[in-house]
A and B are shown apart, each in its own frame.
Chain A
Amino acid sequence: AQTVTQSQPEMSVQEAETVTLSCTYDTSENNYYLFWYKQPPSRQMILVIRQEAYKQQNATENRFSVNFQKAAKSFSLKISDSQLGDTAMYFCAYSGGGADGLTFGKGTHLIIQP
């Protein structure tokens, strides 16, 4: 079974700083999909960024980028120029080649301090 591990329960940085959230996963599949979702307090989960395993180029979405290391099974999220609105729980998630549901990590609570 696939597992997703987020080793940082909580992180706190100052506004405008860059922060990196770590995620590792375990799978025996060769093609799969990885996602970062953001869950603000009492609000719904929204997609931040996604990556297809067989694409070597790291995905980027504005201030958000990933460092995907397939051999190491690592998928970290970098947030540049952090903003107060980035304060949220961040979940790393895995999806296999089939159509099953996502496997989530336990999340990292990111706090952006003014």
Chain B
Amino acid sequence: DTGVSQDPRHKITKRGQNVTFRCDPISEHNRLYWYRQTLGQGPEFLTYFQNEAQLEKSRLLSDRFSAERPKGSFSTLEIQRTEQGDSAMYLCASSSGQGLQPQHFGDGTRLSIL
């Protein structure tokens, strides 16, 4: 169990650019979640996958945000035409089921928009 891995750890980009983050979940976990955490706040749920199916995406912040999990393993979160307000920590988590099954979090990707 190597834990949830996120890449990159930090991303600095200019406003208007597109960015993509990657998350590798714990290998036997079929559920994968994306969250956004801004300074002084708790994480905010964005979307989640069960295997390759995206079962909830209405909470994505705008149509500039999209996520994929093409083979049910790693996932990517893309933000197009980044804005200043997108600066935040983006967290990925995975779990082996729902209910009491805990979500295991990665270290996050910190996005800074210049």
Task: Please give the residue numbers on chain A whose beta carbons come within 8 Å of chain B beta carbons, in ascending order.
Answer: 4, 33, 35, 37, 43-47, 50, 52, 91, 93, 95, 97-107
- Asked if residues A102 and B43 are in contact (CB atoms below 8 Å), the reply is yes
The number of chain B residues with a CB under 8 A from chain A is: 30
Q: Which of B43, B102, B104 contacts A91 (CB 8 A)?
A: B43
A97 to chain B, nearest CB (A): 8
Identify the interface centre among A50, A91, A99: most chain B CB within 10 Å of its CB: A99
Identify the interface centre among A91, A93, A95: most chain B CB within 10 Å of its CB: A95
Judged by a CB distance under 8 angstroms, whether B35 is at the interface is yes
Judged by a CB distance under 8 angstroms, whether B65 is at the interface is no
B69 to chain A, nearest CB (A): 15
- Asked if residues A52 and B98 are in contact (CB atoms below 8 Å), the reply is no
A23 to chain B, nearest CB (A): 11
Select from chain B the residue with minimum beta-carbon distance to A45. B105
A50 to chain B, nearest CB (A): 6
Select from chain A the residue with minimum beta-carbon distance to B106. A44
25 of the cross-chain contacts (CB-CB < 8 Å) are A33-B99, A33-B100, A44-B3, A44-B105, A44-B108, A45-B43, A46-B105, A47-B104, A50-B100, A50-B102, A91-B42, A95-B99, A97-B99, A99-B31, A99-B98, A101-B35, A101-B48, A101-B59, A102-B43, A102-B103, A103-B45, A104-B44, A105-B42, A106-B41, A107-B41
